[in-house]
Amino acid sequence: MTTITRTILGAAELAGLLGQRAPTGEQAAVIEAPLEPGLVVAGAGSGKTETMAARVVWLIANGLVRPDQVLGLTFTRKAAAELSTRIGLRLRQLAATRLVADEVVLAGEPTVSTYHAYAGRIVAEHGVRLGVEPTSRLLTDAVRWQYAARVVQVYDGDMSHVTMTPASITAHLLDLADELGEHFVEPAALRRYTEQLIAGVRALPDSSRKSGVYKDVQNVLTRQLARLQLLPLVEQYIRSKRTTEAMDYGDQMGVAARLAQEVAEISRAERSRYAAVLLDEYQDTSHSQLVLLRSLYGDGHPVTAVGDPCQSIYGWRGASAGSLQRFPQHFPLADGTLLPEPAPVRVLSTSWRNDGRILDLANAVAGELRAHGAVVPVLAPVPGRALDGTVRCALLETAQDEAQWIASRLAEVWAENQALAARDEPGLSAAVLTRRRSQQRVLETALRSRGVPVEVLGLGGLLDTPEVLDVVSTLRVAVDPGAGDALLRLLS
């Protein structure tokens, strides 16, 4: 045990010692927050992740926690690696200052992982308590699809209300199975609910002007009827996973959440292992992730969550920006009273990533989200950059024109970047976002033809390449001669 005799180092002072940029007052308040639950709600590029990394180092530098007592969770492996790098860099800088004893800074490393990997560890260590063998296979998305596609292929029950291709049915089946798992709802319960809903609507009296239901209502009913016919497939899919002792990521998260809820020992162990927990991208946590985290750490444990309600990207998967807003109630301060005090909320309102004009546009677009209740401070530019940045907008006739237009601008940026690199100055980066995957191919070609190097993120780009599409179509037709869209591609 290290006893602290010196006074606590401030966030700004520490940043100065480490050669890091000075935090704003808002950032310092987050970094120096007491060891108790707290939420940070802030917009894109306001330094949420950066501030979290700084908090970890501040806690360690002041001897409040040891490095190996820190748990940081985020969504993607890429983000976890980045957070880990940011923390690691600062810890090495801290060690170099000789400000803190080596055994304090070098006592192990913080654990930074994805929410999924963390759930995976809980299941691997404790799953047997719920009958989950450590040998259970984890299904990748592709294998999951195969399981579901097989169920769809051999199913011969009534599908009179389902007017979709087998591929869409497979996708729907998986979505439905995921949502049910995510919210701990059994298919039978959804069946009962759906039947009651349909019966309830049909039992309503006709309006004075029309007999029967309105078209919009009929559409809803038709979808409910289709859902009822999909449920046996969902049940079959769940059974096929069980009989082969396989789990998908959703199942794994569900099992971890149930373990955390039911086995008090697990939360005791996790709490004593991690003295400080940091949750990044909290707006994207799903229901089962929330249950997991709350069961483990909801008793007043020092959890710092950061998130932006306007960046919630998993709405379809059971994540709701609502969980961000409710964090203070879900993770109250442990004051031992019956009505615990909600955790404090802090904000960051300076955008470091964008100039004033771009922020104006972003704030205007996000206005719609605010009107729907997203509570997050409006981002302000770094002082002096209010009039910086340029927003250009174009309405072009074809996708080709659009790609050329974007490529010509990016070619200029690339040239500027080369010039900066030649002078050893920090380079510029550029990203192109597309609404649909199919647009990426055209853009990529246009950019490459101007000598701009391109990285297409995800498998998306590859799967839309004509050569790959031909191979995939051939394989699909070989397995299923009725695969209409694939057949058409090969014949045309």
Ligand X SMILES: Nc1ncnc2c1ncn2[C@@H]1O[C@H](COP(=O)(O)OP(=O)(O)OP(=O)(O)O)[C@@H](O)[C@H]1O
Interatomic CA distance for residues 352 and 47, integer angstroms: 7
Nearer to ligand X, 51 or 252 (CB): 51
Interatomic CA distance for residues 52 and 48, integer angstroms: 6
47 binds, among ligand X, Mg ion, none (CB under 5 to 8 A by kind): ligand X
46 binds, among Mg ion, ligand X, none (CB under 5 to 8 A by kind): ligand X
As a three-state string, the secondary structure of 219-281 is HHHHHHHHHHHHHHHHHHHHHHHHHCCEECHHHHHHHHHHHHHHCHHHHHHHHHHCCEEEECC
48 near Mg ion, judged by CB under 5 A? yes
Using the rule CB under 5 A, give the single segment among 47-55, 68-76, 87-95, 260-268 that binds Mg ion.
47-55
Using the rule CB under 5 A, give the single segment among 40-48, 174-182, 186-194, 467-475 that binds Mg ion.
40-48
Using the rule CB under 5 A, give the single segment among 42-50, 52-60, 331-339, 383-391 that binds Mg ion.
42-50
Using the rule CB under 6 A, give the single segment among 18-26, 90-98, 197-205, 443-451 that binds ligand X.
18-26
Using the rule CB under 6 A, give the single segment among 45-53, 121-129, 143-151, 178-186 that binds ligand X.
45-53
Q: How far is the CB of 445 from ligand X (least distance, A)?
A: 29
Using the rule CB under 5 A, give the single segment among 45-53, 104-112, 324-332, 333-341 that binds Mg ion.
45-53
48 near ligand X, judged by CB under 6 A? yes
Interatomic CA distance for residues 249 and 163, integer angstroms: 29
Contact 307, 50 (CB under 8 A): no
441 near Mg ion, judged by CB under 5 A? no
| Number of residues lying near ligand X (CB under 6 A) | 16
For residue 413, what are its two tokens?
Answer: 């940026």
Buried b / exposed e over 4-40, threshold 16 CB at 10 Å, is eeeeebebbebbeebebeebbebbbbbbbbeebbbbb
Nearer to ligand X, 312 or 440 (CB): 312
Nearer to ligand X, 178 or 281 (CB): 281
- Residue from 11, 27, 297, 354 that binds ligand X (CB under 6 A)? 27
Which residue's Cβ has the minimum distance to Mg ion? 49
55 near Mg ion, judged by CB under 5 A? no
50 binds, among ligand X, Mg ion, none (CB under 5 to 8 A by kind): ligand X
Nearer to Mg ion, 48 or 476 (CB): 48
Nearer to Mg ion, 49 or 440 (CB): 49
State how beta strands 303-307 and 345-348 pair: unpaired
45 near ligand X, judged by CB under 6 A? yes
Nearer to Mg ion, 173 or 310 (CB): 310
Q: How far is the CB of 48 from Mg ion (least distance, A)?
A: 5
Q: How far is the CB of 79 from ligand X (least distance, A)?
A: 8
- Residue from 9, 37, 38, 47 that binds ligand X (CB under 6 A)? 47
Using the rule CB under 6 A, give the single segment among 17-25, 207-215, 245-253, 443-451 that binds ligand X.
17-25
Nearest alpha-carbon partner for 454 in 436, 437, 429, 418: 429
252 near Mg ion, judged by CB under 5 A? no
CA distances from 115 to 76, 252, 294, 315 (A): 8, 11, 13, 17
- Residue from 12, 44, 64, 138 that binds ligand X (CB under 6 A)? 44
Interatomic CA distance for residues 400 and 345, integer angstroms: 47
Nearer to ligand X, 50 or 270 (CB): 50
Q: How far is the CB of 133 from Mg ion (least distance, A)?
A: 37
Using the rule CB under 5 A, give the single segment among 43-51, 53-61, 172-180, 287-295 that binds Mg ion.
43-51
Q: How far is the CB of 426 from ligand X (least distance, A)?
A: 10
- Residue from 352, 360, 460, 489 that binds ligand X (CB under 6 A)? 352
Q: How far is the CB of 321 from ligand X (least distance, A)?
A: 14
Restricted to residues 292-321, the positions that interact with ligand X (CB under 6 A) are 308, 311
Nearer to ligand X, 353 or 370 (CB): 353
Nearer to Mg ion, 77 or 409 (CB): 77
Nearer to ligand X, 113 or 404 (CB): 113
* Residues making contact with Mg ion (CB under 5 A): 48-49
* Residues making contact with ligand X (CB under 6 A): 21, 23-24, 27, 42, 44-50, 308, 311, 352-353
